[in-house]
Structure formats: C-alpha cells, structure tokens
Amino acid sequence: MTAERVANSETTIFTVVNTLAAKYNAVGLSQGAPDFDTPAWVLDIVREAFTLGRNQYAPLSGVPEFRQAISDVYSRKYDLHFNPNTQITVTSGATEAIFDSVMAVCDPGDELIVFEPFFDSYAGSAKMAGCRMKAVTLHLPDFTFDRKELENAITPKTKAILINNPNNPSGKVYSREELTVISEIANKYDLTVISDEVYENLVFDGLKHIPTASIPGLENRTITINSTAKTFSATGWKIGYICAPEYLTAAVQAVHQWVTFAVNTPIQIAFSKILPQADRYSADFCTEMEKRRNYLLERSANWGFDPIRPSGSYFFMATFGKLSASSDMDFMEQLIRERHVALIPASPFYLNAKDEGQKLLRFNFVKSMAALEQADKNMTMF
Ligand code: GLN
C-alpha cells in the first residue's frame, strides 16, 4: 500500500509534452529550459570551484560566502536587508524552496491562495502539505485580478498567499498597485506571502522588477524565493534560495533540513562570485531574450495565434481559436504530430478557470534563434 497523498498522482505536463515531442522530433518551445549552454564565464568559475578541496556537505543554510553574496545583491539593488546568518537559506532549486515554504506555513486543513494560471509545483506542494489550494483567477486579456475575488477567497483557514512575479506561464509582471493590494489584504487577514521571483532578471520593455518584500507592510511577512537557474541559464544545477524574516527562516529551515539538508557545495562557492555579476550580465541577456520574445510574438501571430504580450519570464500565452476548436491538450498533440512544434497546454495551470486554460497554449522564447526559426519553418511549410 502507498500513501493517500500520492494516490492519483498525475505525470507533470512537462514530462508528458517532452515525451511526445521526442517521439515526433518536435522543436521544443515547451519546457522552461534554454536549449543553449550556460555562459562560458559562469562555467569557468564553477570548474575552478571544484578544485578547492571543498567537496563535502555545506552548512544547512548554505555556504557562508554565497549567503553573503545574496544578501549584498538585495541590499545594493533593492535596499532590502537580509541577515546572511539568520535570514537566508540555500535550497535545491526554487521547487524545493516552494515545497519548504508551503510545508513551513500550512498545516493539514489550512488554505493556501494562489493566482491562476500558476506553476504546477504549487499544487503538488499544497497536496504534500495536506492543505487546500484555492485559486484566484488572473483574467484575460491582460491577466489582472479582482480585489474582491481575492478577498472572497479568504477564510479563517487561509494561511498564505503564494505569488509568482514575473509569472510563469503568462509572463505577467505585477504592478506596484497590485502588490499593494496584496499587502493590504495580507495585513488585514494576517497572512504570510510566499513570493516566487525566479524570473527577476527577465523583465522587459524597460520595466523594473519590484520585490514583494519591498512593498510597505510586507517586509516582515514575506518569504522571497529566488534561483540562479533562469538568470544564468543553468536550470540543471538546482541552486535556489529563500530570503525571509528570522521566524519564517527558522520555519523553512525546519523543513529544509529533512528534505535535502544542504545542497551542492562547490556550485554555491562559485555562485558567490557569479551572483554579484548578475546585473552586468543580465542586462545584455535580457535585451537578447526580448528580441526573441518579439520574434516569436510576431511569428506566432502570423501562424494564426493570438499571443498575449508578456512583460517578463521565459513565456507567453496565446489563444488559438482561429486555428482550431480543439482543447489545449488535443491541439498540443496535433501540433507535435503534424507540425513538429511542442508547446505547453495551459489547462494544468488552472484550478477554477479550466475552460479559460483550454483555450491557451504556452510558448517559451528563451531558445536558440535556430530553434525559433525551425519552429517558424515547421509552422509555415504547408
Ligand atoms: N519551470 C519550467 C517550466 O515552467 C520547468 C518545469 C519543470 O520541468 N518541472 O517550464
């Protein structure tokens, strides 16, 4: 017998699409990972870090110089001050950080509010914690939420609001006004805010990322989650981190110590040198990815989609009513089989508005130009 919590466990949509894409040799504009390599200067620093003789367990909270580098970046960039000894935890990617945070805040029977479309691991973490996830819909056409709908979702059992800014899968970037509404509501109902900001350095059109913890009223109730994966095109290294006030850090570490205890020591040492260069490096990277976003927005419209312009992340969503009356799942399969292009259906990112999700597919533009051009050829060859 196995546990109730793993009963009816579905395979993630990323594995489903990847498997199908491999079978039909489709261009993958699907999973959120670059198809190009990590920058050479980053690889050089990592290679060097493996020669330092520091190959054993890191401390539970992370390698000290990496925690210091994380703290320095937040204080320089956003005037946010996290004590590296008591307010920072290094995790195995943001996915572990989300899991640790949900487990740390929600007891069985509690409620967790997310905005939908949401990244699918949120539902998985809620399920493992035994809490109920409630979704507040970000409405089309521009993925905005209604303050009343957010407030109506709150009950005496609500413990936290989980936000993802910039948002995967929509590419939405929350405005200061929206974050302020979240702060007002979190304070009114005494909620913790878990803020997944892994696409912090992929924000376009001259916008600036606003950390949730920098909004007045949220500094002492926010768990900020970040990662090195997206900024440095290194999704396979799984180095994420959590910055939070002391009482929340103690709570997430109480979980983290029994999940992974500690993560890769040499790569953390390397990131203590790499992270301070994030701004310098990501300005050019972001400009290049903005070009690819524009290319894929333009091409996908040409193929007959109605793309929704994103302000950040790796992704955008598009409706396809002009091309097909099928559901997102069926149309995804058809495109892989007939056009050899893999996209992600959006309904797995929805809880309430599944019908809205069924009209949407997610595109990933953080891919090589060759892959984007190949997708264009495949979509226009008939
Ligand atoms: N975050 C990535 C995405 O949204 C990868 C997710 C995964 O493979 N679990 O595509």
Cβ of residue 124 lying under 6 Å from some atom of ligand 1 = no
**Contact (Cβ atoms closer than 8 angstroms) between residue 150 and residue 178:** no
pLDDT tens digits for range 276-285: 999 999 999 9
What mean pLDDT is predicted for residues 127-152? 97
The CA distance from 238 to 163, in Å, is: 20
d(CA 31, ligand 1 centre) in Å: 5
Amino acid at 164: N
pTM above 0.95, yes or no: yes
pLDDT tens digits for range 60-93: 999 999 999 999 999 999 999 999 999 999 999 9
Quickly state the pLDDT bin for 353 (edges 50, 70, 90).
Answer: confident
Contact residues for 55 (Cβ-Cβ < 8 A; gap 6+): 265, 266
Cβ of residue 313 lying under 6 Å from some atom of ligand 1 = no
Ligand 1 atom index nearest CA of 344: 10
3 state DSSP class of 334:
helix
Quickly state the pLDDT bin for 382 (edges 50, 70, 90).
Answer: low
Ligand 1 atom index nearest CA of 119: 4
Q: Is the pLDDT of residue 354 over 90?
A: no
Report the residue among 15, 18, 121, 168 best suited for mutation to probe ligand 1: largest number of ligand atoms under 8 A from its CB: 168
Contact residues for 288 (Cβ-Cβ < 8 A; gap 6+): none
- Write down the pLDDT at residue 293: 98
d(CA 33, ligand 1 centre) in Å: 7
Q: Is the pLDDT of residue 10 over 90?
A: no
What mean pLDDT is predicted for residues 339-356? 95
Q: Can you say how many angstroms the Cα of residue 325 is from the centroid of all Cα atoms in its chain?
A: 30
Ligand 1 atom index nearest CA of 169: 4
The CA distance from 46 to 42, in Å, is: 6
Among residues 348, 93, 74, 88, the alpha carbon closest in space to that of 223 is found at 88
Closest C-alpha to ligand 1, atom 10: 32
Beta bridge partners of 139: 144
- Write down the pLDDT at residue 8: 87
What mean pLDDT is predicted for residues 282-292? 97
What mean pLDDT is predicted for residues 372-377? 98
Minimum mean pLDDT range among 6-10, 114-118, 259-263: 6-10
Strands 88-92 and 111-116: unpaired
d(CA 341, ligand 1 centre) in Å: 17
What mean pLDDT is predicted for residues 194-218? 98
pLDDT tens digits for range 124-133: 999 999 999 9
What mean pLDDT is predicted for residues 170-185? 98
Q: Is the pLDDT of residue 381 over 80?
A: no
Residues written for the chain: 382
Closest C-alpha to ligand 1, atom 4: 32
Residue corresponding to tokens 């994420």: 240
d(CA 346, ligand 1 centre) in Å: 13
- Write down the pLDDT at residue 147: 98
- Write down the pLDDT at residue 342: 98
